[in-house]
Amino acid sequence: MPPELSPIDKAKFVAAKRAAQMVESGMRVGLGTGSTAAWLVRCLGEMVRQDGLHITGVPTSTRTAELAREVGIEVTTLDDAKWLDLTIDGADEFDGRLNLIKGGGGALLQEKIVATASDQMVVIADAGKEVETLGAFPLPIEVIPFGWQTTKALVEETLVSMDVLGRDSTLRRDGDAPFRTDEGNYIIDLHLKRIGNAQHLALAMNQLPGVVENGLFIDICDRVIVGYGDGRVEMRDIETGTVETGQLDFVESDNLFADLSD
């Protein structure tokens, strides 16, 4: 029997399941990273095995690639795929204009490259990820290891002139060592509390020597699918301003629930 899901996991699952319904055979699909995106990969894997869905997935991290292969999804690289029909990914925060903070899982660089190489980006999230103003979640900045302390100082100095409430920054760690991304870079997390002008901040961060990319996704997301613990889902379209609502159940096979550790 599948394990009992928490309300948050149910919300993530129904959002992922609704997004999976958008995927059609023949599509090249960007596969995000994180706990919500992992639900999507499981849902798509079940559609591949049970419904004959044939897609080519472009993962945004090594762990997503491993999960996709495990569930039977054909995996390729962005260089081979060249352009994608759709990318589906999670978010750490999103606002009413569908601007995002991403990178809590450390894959923000690949996630942004894949998302911008797609006809459409869809974010899947539980309702708790929606905020009025971005910034409560720490903003990740990916930096090269060489001279990272100098880069960190430059970031903090630049924040003085930005419309933010906090300016603390910390090097993300993996035990006793610095956390490393798939590209071997470090991540500095910025504890800003509130970001008044996300576009201005994103541009300023990426102009600093040593900064590879930042976790602000501005004008990239086209739709967000919000899941709730009671099975409700809302799909919001930034272009049309429409909101589509629905209700999904949790009756799935044991295989879908085999790995809840992501």
E strand or H helix that includes residue 63: helix 62-70
Has 32 been labeled as part of a binding site? no
Has 17 been labeled as part of a binding site? no
Dig out the tokens for 184 from the structure: 């071997």
Has 147 been labeled as part of a binding site? no
Has 34 been labeled as part of a binding site? yes
Has 33 been labeled as part of a binding site? yes
Q: Which of 200, 96, 93, 169 is nearest to 137 (CA)?
A: 93
Cα gap 143→150, rounded to integer Å: 11
Catalytic residue among 46, 93, 111, 142: 111
In the residue annotation, 183 being an active-site residue is answered as no
Amino acid residing at 6: S
Has 151 been labeled as part of a binding site? no
Dihedral, 193, 169, 160, 198 alpha carbons, nearest 10: -50
Has 105 been labeled as part of a binding site? yes
Has 193 been labeled as part of a binding site? no
Cα gap 33→60, rounded to integer Å: 6
| Residues making up the binding site | 33-36, 89-92, 102-105, 129
Which residues are part of a known binding site for substrate? 33-36, 89-92, 102-105, 129
- By annotation, the residues acting in catalysis are 111
